[in-house]
Amino acid sequence: MSTQGKPIPFHVRIDPNPQNGLREVTYVKCEQVLTLSKARLIGPEPLGQLSTAEMRKVEVAVKLSLALP
């Protein structure tokens, strides 16, 4: 994720809202697949969560990036 993105199919723009906990427009860069420790993701208290619609956009972009059907 980054605050810098481009209007390309692999970058999913996420606008800040109370549900996701973001403070500024953020881009999920789906061409940069990384491995993270589960401990880093759950922590003591989640900072936020993407909506179902946002997650669907990320899913489509990841599949496109990895050339999956």
Q: Which carries the bigger pLDDT value, residue 54 or residue 37?
A: 54
Range of the domain at 63: 1-41+49-69
User: What CATH number should be reported for the domain holding residue 19?
Assistant: 2.30.30.110
**Residue 36's pLDDT is what?**
84
In total, how many domains does the chain have?
Answer: 1
Q: What is the pTM of this model?
A: 0.83
pLDDT of 42 strictly over 80: no
- Sign of the torsion angle spanned by Cα atoms 57, 38, 23, 19: positive
